[in-house]
């Protein structure tokens, strides 16, 4: 996508004849974009959502095989989905509540363990684990009943902003004029680049291999994570029906090898990995999905609104920030962007239009602290557990044990993981 000046000629003459005017255009069809578009329409704002993958509604998952993309949903996400009237519509037999988290250091000693418990924190659960297409499917169903929301299956090619708002030129449809644009177009956000927002970006030189497993021993509603010597991280997240979802962060070379393993190769992997601790905890593991790998990186946009001189675009979700999945928080953070944007717009003073700069700055200010803190913590943890010197090993393993003994720090950690949003 490129940014066009106000005087540049139309991209596609035949598509420029009828301009469609809306209050808000949301670019992107991931969960952040879908939840945001629905929430904006529920506020009574005429909204259009544009993404190439909006063609057919996502069918909610059925059957014994769980979807490939599994997420940990934090209580802040649950609150947003409930606010959007989505949470109760989800098929709850496909969602697993997490009551405990157990994180193990790389010496394999019992004292290098951090245990976070919902019971100790006085909360019914720490998180829920569920499929991406479960949430996407219900969001798609909700959109059908929303007459303030239109969806266009297309790509935004250029975007121009002026004092009144922004005009989006699409590949195959007429242009759209919106007072405000929400960019939810993912980690490589072309919108972010086109409005001149720079981003700091760093590759972790790791990929995450994800797969679902049937296990013979109960997972005890516990999310397990093993930090392994050499920097690999293996998370096993509980799913209903004695299943677990694996997220194994490892070198890209090892990730490619893991994708090719057969069940018998995996059996010997589990016997060796983390000194056999994973098998001891979960029993025999049977592959129950096709493994897939995702490259891992950190991205933080330097501004969340733009262009700088007269902002008319708001970044949300991975367009604004991408983090290592070790804390399972990327989407949760993106959905907190959505919650804050909905709050800022719904509580605006009657004299402020929705693209008023004071409102947009309120959004940006409220999102900066949460984003920076979470990106910093996950990045530090990732790097601390990748270091191979003796001092680093001792520090991290001592750190796990120390935090485990401190109820105060554990409470703060849990509060951060639960997230905090409020709707009035």
Ligand X SMILES: Cc1cc2nc3c(=O)[nH]c(=O)nc-3n(C[C@H](O)[C@H](O)[C@H](O)COP(=O)(O)OP(=O)(O)OC[C@H]3O[C@@H](n4cnc5c(N)ncnc54)[C@H](O)[C@@H]3O)c2cc1C
Footprint of ligand X (CB under 6 A): 1, 27-33, 50-53, 71-72, 155-156, 184-186, 190, 208, 210, 247, 294, 317-318, 325, 328-332, 334
116 vs 397, beta carbon nearer ligand X: 116
45 vs 210, beta carbon nearer ligand X: 210
112 vs 337, beta carbon nearer ligand X: 337
335 vs 360, beta carbon nearer ligand X: 335
Are 414 and 327 spatial neighbours (Cβ–Cβ below 8 Å)? no
139 vs 393, beta carbon nearer ligand X: 139
* Nearest distance from C-beta of residue 305 to ligand X, angstroms: 16
Q: Of 418, 337, 369, which Cα lies nearest the Cα of 72?
A: 418
53 vs 308, beta carbon nearer ligand X: 53
Helix or strand or coil: residue 221?
coil
* Nearest distance from C-beta of residue 303 to ligand X, angstroms: 17
* Nearest distance from C-beta of residue 295 to ligand X, angstroms: 8
What is d(CA 30, CA 266) in angstroms, rounded to the nearest whole number? Answer: 32
What is d(CA 16, CA 200) in angstroms, rounded to the nearest whole number? Answer: 35
299 vs 393, beta carbon nearer ligand X: 299
Helix or strand or coil: residue 5?
coil
Given the DSSP bridges, would you call strands 313-315 and 176-183 parallel, antiparallel or unpaired?
parallel
Q: Which long-range contacts (CB under 8 A, 24 or more apart) does 167-171 make?
A: 167/19, 168/25, 168/27, 168/50, 169/4, 169/10, 169/11, 169/12, 169/15, 169/16, 170/15, 170/50, 171/12
* Nearest distance from C-beta of residue 320 to ligand X, angstroms: 8
Given the DSSP bridges, would you call strands 113-117 and 100-104 parallel, antiparallel or unpaired?
antiparallel
* DSSP states along 276-287: GHHHHHH-SEEE
* Nearest distance from C-beta of residue 407 to ligand X, angstroms: 26
Q: Counting every residue, how long is the chain?
A: 424
User: Quick one: how far is CA 185 from the chain centroid?
Assistant: 13
* Nearest distance from C-beta of residue 290 to ligand X, angstroms: 15
* Nearest distance from C-beta of residue 319 to ligand X, angstroms: 6
Helix or strand or coil: residue 102?
strand
Q: Of 27, 55, 323, which Cα lies nearest the Cα of 203?
A: 323
* Nearest distance from C-beta of residue 358 to ligand X, angstroms: 26
169 vs 393, beta carbon nearer ligand X: 169
């Amino acid at each position: 996508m490129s940014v066009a000046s106000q005087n540049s000629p139309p991209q596609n003459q035949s598509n420029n004849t009828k301009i469609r005017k809306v209050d808000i255009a949301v670019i992107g069809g991931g969960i952040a974009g879908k939840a945001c578009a629905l929430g904006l329409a529920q506020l009574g704002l005429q909204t259009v959502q544009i993404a190439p993958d909006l063609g057919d509604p996502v069918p909610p998952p059925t059957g014994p095989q769980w979807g490939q993309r599994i997420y940990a949903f934090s209580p802040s996400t649950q609150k947003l989905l409930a606010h959007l009237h989505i949470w109760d519509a989800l098929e709850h037999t496909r969602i697993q509540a997490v009551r405990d988290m157990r994180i193990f250091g790389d010496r394999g000693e019992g004292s290098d363990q951090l245990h976070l418990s919902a019971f100790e924190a006085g909360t019914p659960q720490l998180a829920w684990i569920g499929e991406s297409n479960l949430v996407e499917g219900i969001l798609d169903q909700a959109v059908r009943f929303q007459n303030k929301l239109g969806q266009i299956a297309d790509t935004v090619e250029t975007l121009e902003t002026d004092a009144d708002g922004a005009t989006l030129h699409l590949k195959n449809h007429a242009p759209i004029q919106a007072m405000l644009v929400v960019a939810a177009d993912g980690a490589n956000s072309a919108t972010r680049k086109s409005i001149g927002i720079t981003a700091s970006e760093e590759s972790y030189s790791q990929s995450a291999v994800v797969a679902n497993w049937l296990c013979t021993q109960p997972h005890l509603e516990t999310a397990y994570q093993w930090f392994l010597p050499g920097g690999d991280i293996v998370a096993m997240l509980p799913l209903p029906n004695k299943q677990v979802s694996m997220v194994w962060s490892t070198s890209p070379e090892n990730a490619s090898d893991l994708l090719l393993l057969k069940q018998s190769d995996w059996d010997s992997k589990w016997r060796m990995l983390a000194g056999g601790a994973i098998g001891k905890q979960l029993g025999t593991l049977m592959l129950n999905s096709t493994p897939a790998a995702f490259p891992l990186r950190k991205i933080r946009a330097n501004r969340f609104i733009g262009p700088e001189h007269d902002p008319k675009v708001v970044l949300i979700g991975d367009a604004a920030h991408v983090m290592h999945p070790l804390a399972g928080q990327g989407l949760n953070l993106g959905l907190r962007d959505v919650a804050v944007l909905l709050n800022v717009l719904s509580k605006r003073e009657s004299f402020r239009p929705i693209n008023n700069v004071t409102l947009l700055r309120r959004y940006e200010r409220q999102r900066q602290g949460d984003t920076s803190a979470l990106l910093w913590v996950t990045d530090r943890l990732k790097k601390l557990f990748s270091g191979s010197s003796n001092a680093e090993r001792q520090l991290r393993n001592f750190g796990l044990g120390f935090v485990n003994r401190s109820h105060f720090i554990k409470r703060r950690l849990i509060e951060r993981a639960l997230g905090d949003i409020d709707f009035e």
